[in-house]
Amino acid sequence: MRCGEALRATFDRRFLTSLLLLLAVRALELALGEGYRFSSDDGSLPTVYSKLTRVDIALYCVVPLFVLGSSGSLGRSLSPATVLRWGSRRRMTRWHLLRSLVRGLAYSVVLVASALVAISLRSPLSFPAPTAALFVPVELALETMFLSACGMLLLASFVASGHGGTSVLAVLAYASVDYLLGMTELSGDHLFATGWSLTTLTGST
């Protein structure tokens, strides 16, 4: 598969639509001021950022949009024609992993960029550029790993079940477990952090 064709398969119409919906949701949050309860006691950039990327946001918005955007090409991705195009199942699997990483990075860029814009406009605190330069790559990497894992779980569930709806439910169940753990007394113990909770550890240290 050529580079241009692989790029079009990664950013297909369904995924781009979900990405635009995420951007619209974040813009609406900023316009309405929803969830922006900043104070001068927040202290650090990770702490302020974690208020905009809570685990409930991941469960009810980020993960559903990502999964629905990634689920449109499941059947085509595993078709015999696709295997022949790549030459082997191993090469095809590597491409699926790379595609999940790229899609996860695209979502992470939208999340991080929108949060930084909200912080600059709404927070009473200001943070120097070196602080953001150190924080942003770490947060991008953490969120990308989580979302790409969701993409791979979606694919693995589809291989096992052969049903797109079951695959989507499997990823949502994974996100729900993370949410439930975040609502328990275990949420303060980093040893029990799973999924999206791992991306917020920078804000709890």
Per residue in 10-23, pLDDT (tens digit) is 888 999 999 999 99
Residue with the larger pLDDT of the pair 146 and 191? 146
Per residue in 98-139, pLDDT (tens digit) is 889 999 999 999 999 998 888 888 777 778 888 888 889 989
Residue with the larger pLDDT of the pair 36 and 109? 109
SS (H, E, C) 70-110: HHHHHHHHCCHHHHHHHCCHHHHHHHHHHHHHHHHHHHHHH
% of the chain beyond a pLDDT of 70 = 73
| pLDDT at position 145 over 80 | yes
| pLDDT at position 69 over 70 | yes
